[in-house]
Amino acid sequence: MSQWVVVERNRRDLLGEGVWWSAREGAVYWVDIIGQKVNRLTLASGAVQDWDMPEMTGWVIGRADHDGFIAGTKSGFHALTLEPFAVTPIASPEPDLAGNRMNDACTDAQGRIWAGTMSMDGSRADGALYRLDADLSWHRMDAPYNIANGPTISPDGRWLYHTDSALGQVYRFALQDDGSLGPRENFISFPDAWGSPDGMTVDREGGIWIAHWGGGCVSRFTPEGERERWIDLPASQITKPCFAGDNLDRLFVTSAADGVDEPLAGSLFEVECGAVGLAPTLFAG
């Protein structure tokens, strides 16, 4: 019996990414970066809806005290509402790097957003890791990166994990309550046979689930960084996992069709993984 199913809809994503669970809506959101869309899957009905975005968008994260989302786009941080549709600029952290875009993000327990940037083709080390605070101030926290990807935070809030996909390297940082970071530590190195580390999430036990770009699977690593198990998927470019559902035991995984000729590339998969995740924190601002 297969451990995965394809979420039925009328299109595939060129570059599916940024999958995020909205408990208050009972819906999974994700983006198609190259296709410039935000997608929503309502779990109760199975209905999928999408919205066109004015520029490439790497992720959306819900807000605690406002309607809508914070979105990370090519030009920076924006406030986003879908109904009615409105995109309002907040900050552009890299106005001098027109060839860069935002790529992936997460929130910490205090409701701050951690988001990375990258050059459009990932060939230059122009990217960085940023923190967006509740007062909408932003802070450049770490650099350089070729393809900044997959931030996620350990269940106890002690560690922030982040990757440079181009280097096949997962890093970790000690995360302080005030939002400061300890030194960058090499944590997990991907051999070429695994593909590249892409988006990540954690489960309730501290396991780190990592999507394999070019590796066609999602893997669980122990809190010590050992690869414990993996689930093969019928697409090579796997981009990000996310726990969802009332019990946070449904794992949704995005993928990309750009540059490959595979029937199921660009699908959103639901994966039976035998783990339970954590509810994402809403952005505090």
SS3 167: helix
Please report, for the chain, the start and end positions of each structural domain, with discontinuous segments joined by +: 4-271
Is residue 79 predicted with pLDDT exceeding 60? Answer: yes
Find out whether 203 is annotated in a ligand binding site.
no
Cis peptide bond prior to 54, omega within 30° of 0: no
Q: Is 100 annotated as a binding residue?
A: no
198 annotated as belonging to a binding site for a ligand:
yes
Q: Does the pLDDT at position 124 exceed 90?
A: no
User: According to CATH, what is the number of the domain 4-271?
Assistant: 2.120.10.30
Measured distance CA(105)–CA(34) in Å, rounded? 17
Q: Which helix H or strand E contains 108, and what residues bound it? A: none
Tokens found for residue 15: 């570059």
What value does the mean pLDDT take over residues 40-44? Answer: 98
Taking Cα atoms as reference points, which of 107, 61, 43 lies closest to residue 249? 43
pLDDT, residue 192, reads: 97
Integer Cα distance of 13 and 255 in angstroms: 7
The predicted pLDDT at position 89 comes to 98
Closest CA to 104 of 52, 49, 145: 145
In angstroms, the CA 98 to CA 35 distance is: 19
| % of the chain with per-residue pLDDT over 90 | 97
Q: What pLDDT digit, counting tens, does each position of 168-212 carry?
A: 999 999 999 999 999 999 999 999 999 999 999 999 999 999 999
Q: Any known ligand binding at 17?
A: yes
Q: What is the mean pLDDT of the chain?
A: 97
Q: Which two tokens stand for residue 95?
A: 């106005």
Residues with catalytic annotation? Answer: 198
The secondary structure of residue 183, as a DSSP letter, is -
> Tell me, what's the pLDDT at 63?
98
φ/ψ of residue 135, rounded to 5? -85, 10
- Give dist(CA 46, CA 163) in Å, integer: 32
Q: How far apart are the first and last CA of the chain?
A: 44
120 Cβ contact list (under 8 Å, min separation 6): 99, 100, 101
What is the per-residue pLDDT for 115? 98
User: With DSSP H G I counted as helix, E B as strand and the rest as coil, what are the percentages for the chain, rounded to 5?
Assistant: 0, 55, 45
pLDDT at 1: 45
Q: How far apart are CA 285 and CA 274, in angstroms?
A: 34
pLDDT of res. 34: 98
Q: What pTM does this model have?
A: 0.97
Position 19 pLDDT exceeds 50: yes
Quote the pLDDT of residue 121.
Answer: 82
